[in-house]
Structure 1
Amino acid sequence: MPLNQLLDWRLHLLVVVLSLGAEFIGILKFPIGPGTLLLLPLFYAFIAAVLCNPHLFSGTKRFIPPVVSMAAGPVILLSIMPFIARFGSTIGPAIEQLISAGPALVLQELGNLGTMLIAMPIAVVVLKMGREAIGATYSIAREPNIAIISDKYGLKGPEGVGVMGVYVVGTMFGTLWFALMAGYLTSLDIFDPRALAMACGVGSGSMVAACSGAIAGALPEMGEELLAFAGASNLLTYATGLYVSLFIALPVAERLFTFFSAKRGVAPDALAEEDAKVAKDAMVEERPEQQLGKTAIVVAVVCVVGWVVNTINGAGLIDAAPGMLILYVMTMLGLLVARIMPFYLPAIAWVSLVSILMTLPWFPGSGWITEQLSFVNFLAIVTPVLAYAGLALSRREFTMFRQAGWKLVIISLLVFTGTYIGSAAIAQWLL
C-alpha cells in the first residue's frame, strides 16, 4: 500500500480520539458470581472503532471513507510492535524468575491440545460438523496455523473453511474474549496469576496484549512480573507452537475426528471460493522488514499515537518521550535483524528479543532504559492497536463472519477457552 495512504491523517487522528476517550473511561469492574468481569480501555476502543467502520454502516462513509479502513489493516501489525518491545522489556529484568519457571513455560504450549478435547466432540457430535471441525479445532487459528492447513489441505476444502472461520471470529472477537476470560479467571483466584499470564502467550500479538493486560490490570502490584511471563511464553510459542501444531495437534485432530464421527461425513457450509482465495493472498503480503524505509515512517507515526494516548493513564509527554523513543529504536532494530537474518522468524519475535537483550541486568545502561520505559503504560499503548483493528475490518471479513455461521462462532469460543485453560492448567501444575 502506498505510503501516503498509510499516513492518512484521518485514520491516525480518529484512532487518537477513540483511544483517548477509551483511556479516559478507564477500567470498569462488574461483579459476576464469585468473580469480577473487567472491561479495559482496549475493549471500548475496539467497539467504538467497529461502530465507526465504513463497512458496517453505510452512513459512516460520508465521514470515514473506505480508504481509511483499508489503510488501517497494514498498520495493525506495526502498531503492535512498540507494545511487543515494551512487553519484552519486562523480561530482561525478570530473567532469573523466568529461568526458574523454565519447564512450565516450555511445556504449557501443550495446552493447545485443550482446543480439541473440549471443542471437537461438541463440533462433531452435537453440531454435526464434518471435516471443517479439523481445521476449526486443531489450533487457535492464527496465521501460521492457517499456513499449515493451506499447505496440507488447501483453503477451499472443508478444513480450510474451518480454520478460516475461526480466524475470522478470532480477528473480530478473539482479542476481547481473551481479555474478558483472563480478567475473570484472575478474579476467581483459582490459578496462579503467573500460570494465567503464561497461558496468554498462545495467542496472536493483540490477544497476548489484551490477555496479559487484563491480568496485570487486575493485579497491578504484579504487573511487570506478569507481563514478563506472558512475553516469554509468547516468544517460546513462536519457536515451538508451529511444530506442536504440525506434528502433534493436527494428527491428534484427525484421529479424534475419526473417533467422534465414526467415519460419518457431514457436508460443510463452504465459504465462497473468492473469499478463500483473497484470504490466502492476504497472508503472503510483503513483510514490513522488507520495506524498512516506509516501515520506519509508519512506526514513528504509531509511536506518536501511543505517546499521546499514554498521557491519560501514563506519564506526560515530556516524561514519556525518552521511553517512547527507546521503544521506537527497539522496534526498528528488531526489524533490521529480521531483514538480515538468513532464516525466517517473525519480526515480532526479533523485536521482543532485542528489547529483552537491552534490558538484561548486564546490558550497558539497562537500568536507565528500564527507568525511562516505566513512564510508558503498557495498557495505554495497546489501546490504539485495538482501535486500528476495529477500523481495519473489511466488508469481506464481515461477510465471512455471517457466512461462517453460528456453529463456527460457538466452536471458536470453545477453542479459545480450551486453549487458554489447558495452557494455564499445565503451567499451574508445573509451577
Structure 2
Amino acid sequence: MANTTRVPQGSPRTHRISRGHWTTVIALSVAVAVVSVLIGTVKIQLGPAAVVLFPIIWAVVIGAILGTQRFRPVSPAARAVATLLLEIGIVVFLARLGTQIGPTLANFANIGPAIVLQEVGHIFGTVILALPVAVALGLGRVAIGATWSIDRESFLAYAIQRFGVRSPEYRGVFSVWLLGSLFGAVFISLLAGFLGGLSIFDPRALALGLGLGSASMMLGGAGALSLLYPERAGEIMALAALSNLVTNIVGFYAGVFLSLPLCRRLYTFWSRIFGRDDDGRRINRRGPVGSTGNAASAASPTDTAAPQPAIDSDPVVRPTGKTMLLAYAVVGVSGLLMNFIGTKTFAPSDILGMAILLVLTAASFRLAKLVPSIPSSVWVLGIATVLSATFLPSSSLIAGLTGHLDVILLGVPTLGLIGLTVGRDIPALKSLSWRVVIVALITYTASFIAAAALGQTVLHL
C-alpha cells in the first residue's frame, strides 16, 4: 500500500498525497531541469542589446507547458508536493548565494551607500511611475495595491490583514504577486539582459537594482547579467544578493510606513487629475471629484473596473520527519545532478557542500518559526553570509566545500517547479484584466530601473 500524507483538517481540499504524486513531481522536475541545462544559453541580438535565454528561463517555460497541458493535468496533490520542494529549493539557492557574499564583503565597502539607496528606488519608483498609469487605465483603488510595491509574499500577507481579501487594494496586490510569481523571473531576466547589452548602466548598478525582494526575479536577472559579463559574474551575483537581503530586511517596513501612505495620497491626486472614481470609472467633471464617495450615477456605465481574480488552493503536505527528509534529499540530489551536467565535472566535496546548504536551509526554517517576523530567506542569507565571511575561521572550510557548486545550476530545478505549479493559477490568470498586466510590468520595470539609476549615480559620484 502506498505511503500517503494526509491534508490537515480544515484544509479547503482533501486530496490524498501519495507516493505516486511524489514520483511524478520528482521525475518531471528532474526531466525539465536536465532538458533546460542541455539546451543551454541562447543569445538573441537585438541591435546594440541582446535578449539572453538561459537554462533558468527554459525551466520556467517547459515547466509551465507541462503544468498547464490538458492531456494529463498535474493534479492538486502533485502541485502540493512541487510547492514543498520549491520552498526548500529556493532557500537552498539563497544559502549558496550567502556563501558567495561572505568572502567578498570587504570588496563592497566603498559602494555601501549605493546598496542602501537602491531601496529608495524600489519604494518610490513604483509609486511615482506606475501609479498614475494604473489610475489612468481605470483600476480604481486596485491601483493602490498594484503599485505601492512589487507585492511579494510579505506584502500579500499584510494586504490580507490590512485591507481584507474582498478589498480592491488586496486584488491589486494579489494580481501583481501572481504575475510576478509566474512570469517575474522571465521578465526581469529579459529586461536585465536587454539593459545590460545597451551598456548604459554599470553592471554593478543593474545588479543592485535586482534586489526586488524576490529570489526568483533576482536569480533570473543576475543570471542574464552574468552571461553578459562573465568576468564579473561572481560580483554581480553577490551584489544582487546583498541588495535583495537589504530589501527583505527593511523593504517591508519602508513599504508599509513610507510607500503605502505616499501611494494613497498620490492616488487621491491622480484620481482628480484623470477623473476616476474608486471603481475606476470615469466621473462627471462637473460633479464632485475625490478618492472616496464618488457617485455611481456620474460614472460611465461602459467603463468598468478590473475583475477580481479567483483564488484557488491546493492541499498541504504534512511536514512529518520522513516527508521532510525525503524533500531535502530530492532537492539536494537534483541540485548535484544539475551541477554535474552543467559543469561536466564532479568533486566529492560537492556532496559535503550541498549538505552544508541543506543544514543552513533547515536551520533558517526553524528560526523563521521561532521568529515569524523574519522570513527564512532573510535568515539563510544572513547566516550563510556571516559564516562564510573572512573574519570567521569557518570561511575557508565553507568556501572549499561549496566553491564548485554553480548557483545558477542549483536554481534550475527550483524554477522548473514554479512552472509545474502554474496550473493552479489558471482561473486567476484568466480573470486578470489586461490593464493589471500592463501595470504589473510597469511596476517591475520602474522598481528595477529606478533602483539601478540611483545605484549608478552613487557609484559614479
Question: Where is the helix percentage greater, Structure 1 or Structure 2?
Answer: 1
Aligned to 1:33: 47
Partner of 2:132: 121
Q: In the TM superposition, what are the counterparts of 1:315-334 in structure 2 within 5 Å?
A: 316-319=345-348, 320-334=350-364
In the alignment, the residues of structure 1 paired with residue 141 and residue 42 of structure 2 have an alpha-carbon distance, to the nearest angstrom, of 41
Q: Which amino acid aligns with 1:114?
A: G
Q: Which runs of 5+ in 2 are unaligned?
A: 7-16, 282-304
Larger deviation: 143-152 or 29-38?
143-152
* Aligned ranges 1:187-266 → 2 under 5 Å: 187-262=197-272, 264-265=276-277, 266=280
* Map of 2:331 onto structure 1: 302
SS in 2 for 1:156: coil
CA distance in 1, matches of 2:213, 2:186: 12
Matched, 1:421 2:449: yes
Q: For residue 227 of structure 1, what is the amino acid of its counterpart?
A: M
Q: Residues 83-98 of structure 1 correspond to what in structure 2 (within 5 A)? A: 83-98=93-108
* Greater mean alpha carbon deviation, residues 203-212 or residues 360-369: 360-369
Q: What letter corresponds to residue 369 of structure 1 in structure 2?
A: I
Aligned position for 1:16 = 30
Equivalent residue pairs, number: 416
Report Cα offsets for 1:313-334 as digits up to 9, x if no partner. 2253444323222222222233
Change beyond 3 A, Cα 1:123–1:365: closer
Name structure 1 gaps, 5 residues minimum.
none
- How far does residue 387 in structure 1 lie from its aligned partner after superposition? 0.6
> Partner amino acid for 2:338?
V
- SS of structure 2 residue aligned to 1:36: strand
- C-alpha distance in 1 between matches for 2:325 and 2:391: 29
Asked if 1:338 is matched to 2:355, the reply is: no
**Secondary structure of the structure 2 residue equivalent to 1:128:** coil
Moved more, 79-88 or 352-361: 352-361
> How far apart in 2 are the matches of 1:286 and 1:108?
38
> 1:188 Cα deviation (Å)?
1.3
Describe the superposition over 1:211-267 as per-residue Cα deviations: whole angstroms up to 9, x where unpaired: 212212221211111111111111111211111111111111112211111063125
In the TM superposition, 1:6-405 aligns within 5 A as: 8-53=22-67, 56-61=68-73, 64-112=74-122, 113-125=124-136, 127-262=137-272, 264-265=276-277, 266=280, 268-271=305-308, 275-276=310-311, 294-314=323-343, 316-319=345-348, 320-341=350-371, 344-395=373-424, 397-405=425-433
8 Å CA contact 1:296, 1:332 repeated in 2: no
Check conservation: 2:245, 2:378, Cα contact below 8 A: yes
Quote the Cα distance in structure 2 between the aligned partners of 1:59 and 1:81: 32
Amino acid of the residue matched to residue 35 of structure 2? G
User: Is the 2:307–2:433 Cα contact (8 Å) retained in structure 1?
Assistant: no
Instruction: Report the Cα offset of residue 296 of structure 1.
Output: 4.3
Change over 3 Å in CA distance of 1:99–1:18 after alignment to 2: same
Provide the rounded CA distance (Å) in 2 between the counterparts of 1:256 and 1:293. Answer: 52
Deviation at 1:155, TM superposition (A): 2.2
1:6/1:72 contact within 8 Å kept: no
Change (3 A) 1:365 1:161: closer
Question: In structure 2, how many angstroms separate the alpha carbons of the residues matched to 1:387 and 1:360?
Answer: 31
Whole-angstrom CA distance in 1 between matches of 2:317 and 2:420: 21
Larger radius of gyration: 2
Q: In 2, Cα distance between the equivalents of 1:140 and 1:345?
A: 19
Equivalent residue number for residue 298 of structure 2: none
Specify the alignment match of 2:290 in structure 1: none
1:130-168 C-alpha deviation (Å, 9 max, x unpaired): 111111111101111112322222121111111111111
**1:384-430 Cα deviation digits (max 9, x unpaired):** 111100001233x1111111121111111000000100111111112
Distance 2:158 2:360 in 1: 30
Amino acid at match of 2:260: L
Other-structure match for 1:430: 458
C-alpha distance in 1, partners of 2:228/2:19?
Answer: 38
Contact 1:6 1:75 in 2 (8 A): no
Q: Distance in 1 between matches of 2:20 and 2:47?
A: 45
Deviations along 1:333-365, one digit per CA (max 9) or x if unpaired, are 333443445x63111111112211221113224
Identity value in percent: 32
Offset at residue 196 of structure 1 (A): 1.0
TM-score by length of 1: 0.90
Cα distance in 2 for residues equivalent to 1:332 and 1:292: 12
Provide the rounded CA distance (Å) in 2 between the counterparts of 1:349 and 1:7.
Answer: 31
User: Aligned partners of 1:336, 1:145: CA distance in 2, in Å?
Assistant: 22
The alignment's C-alpha RMSD in Å is 2.4
